[in-house]
Chains A and B, each alone.
Chain A
């Protein structure tokens, strides 16, 4: 069952954040709140779907030696076109997602999926892979974002949930806190995996 395999790979077995540990720089920078995390995740997913389709269509014409510069040019061009389009025609979306778009250019998930999947599969499967990897990325980011927001700001998706006397752990929303949270979540995931194997 190829579709199921792609979905499970994207979300669990090859989760870009928890398993492949790629794209950490933009991911950790924006995962201070759950809402920001979802914004970044969805923007990445959309770009990923289209960049995967484009690359699966053109990779045949690109000689092996220059494939990485070509992929990067295509991805960066695509992201910039998207940015112009959002700014011109979707002001509301641009207002909420616009600041994440430039971060996507340097997001290595796009290059990683182009190299490992889109360059050896057809456009349809590549789109599916883009969607599933994007979902995995969004889920992972939202998880990290919700945890950091809860301990660092005392809110859950922007709604205040902790009483005022509860001491907030500011370091969790600072960069080191991103690594603490990520480390704890990866450890938890490994425990689950080990149990299932045993």
Chain B
């Protein structure tokens, strides 16, 4: 009787133990390449968003809420703009967006780095036709100005909020600096 209970339990324990160990091992082995790959994609994205960038400086400023990173871009030692990384929560978890601003805090372009939105529905909100409408916006623009993607309202609004948060943040940063 006891044997009948113990045997399956032991088998389940062994299977979970082996699978978990393999998972841990894979995580350990791949953690470094994944981190490197992320830095690489980030750099490539900066290059696409601000092609004229020659030097990037990671401004380790006080970050609030969903704002994750602030990069200043220089060309010929002259400040040409900022890139803010925001991570609003979408339908399937955080959506990491990089937003490029000119020196006056006007949105130039945006690109999504990582997301887990539903393929075919929500992921339209992380692609270019949708992201394109943010160009030219600045400050705390009204979300009503943005056309959401059909059947992907949650993903669209998350992206819009992320870009708006980045825009409001950079606006405060630029105008807060000037006397």
A84:B119 contact, CB within 8 angstroms: no
Chain A neighbourhood of B123, CB < 8 A: 99
Task: Tell whether A81 pairs with B23 under 8 Å between CB atoms, given A62-B11, A70-B12, A87-B34.
Answer: yes
Task: Tell whether A85 pairs with B30 under 8 Å between CB atoms, given A29-B118, A66-B11.
Answer: yes
Task: Tell whether A85 pairs with B26 under 8 Å between CB atoms, given A30-B120, A36-B119.
Answer: yes
Could you tell me how many residues of chain A have their Cβ less than 8 Å away from some Cβ of chain B?
36
Chain B neighbourhood of A85, CB < 8 A: 26, 30
Task: Tell whether A80 pairs with B23 under 8 Å between CB atoms, given A70-B12, A74-B15.
Answer: yes
A170 to B151 Cα, complex, angstroms: 10
A70 to B19 Cα, complex, angstroms: 10
Give 1 or 0 for each of A45-89: 1 = CB within 8 Å of chain B CB. 000000000000010011101100110011011001100110111
B143 within 8 A of A: no
Among B12, B37, B120, chain A packs the most CB atoms within 10 A around the CB of B120
B22 within 8 A of A: yes
CB distance from B124 to the nearest CB of A (A): 9
The size bracket of the interface on B is: 20 to 34
B33:A88 contact, CB within 8 angstroms: yes
A91 within 8 A of B: yes
B178 within 8 A of A: no
| One of B12, B20, B117, B120 near A77 (C-beta < 8 A) | B20
Chain A neighbourhood of B37, CB < 8 A: 87-88, 91
Give 1 or 0 for each of B80-105: 1 = CB within 8 Å of chain A CB. 00000000000000000000000000
A74 to B22 Cα, complex, angstroms: 10
B34:A74 contact, CB within 8 angstroms: no
Specify the chain B residue showing the minimal Cβ separation from A87. B34
A40 within 8 A of B: yes
| One of B11, B16, B34, B119 near A30 (C-beta < 8 A) | B119
Residues of B within 8 A of A (CB): 7-9, 11-12, 15-16, 19-20, 22-23, 26-27, 29-30, 33-34, 37, 40-41, 115-121, 123, 150-151
* Given A32-B120, A39-B119, A173-B120; 18 other pairs, CB 8 A cutoff: A29-B119, A61-B11, A66-B12, A70-B12, A73-B16, A73-B19, A74-B19, A76-B19, A77-B22, A80-B26, A81-B26, A84-B30, A88-B30, A88-B34, A91-B41, A100-B119, A103-B119, A174-B151
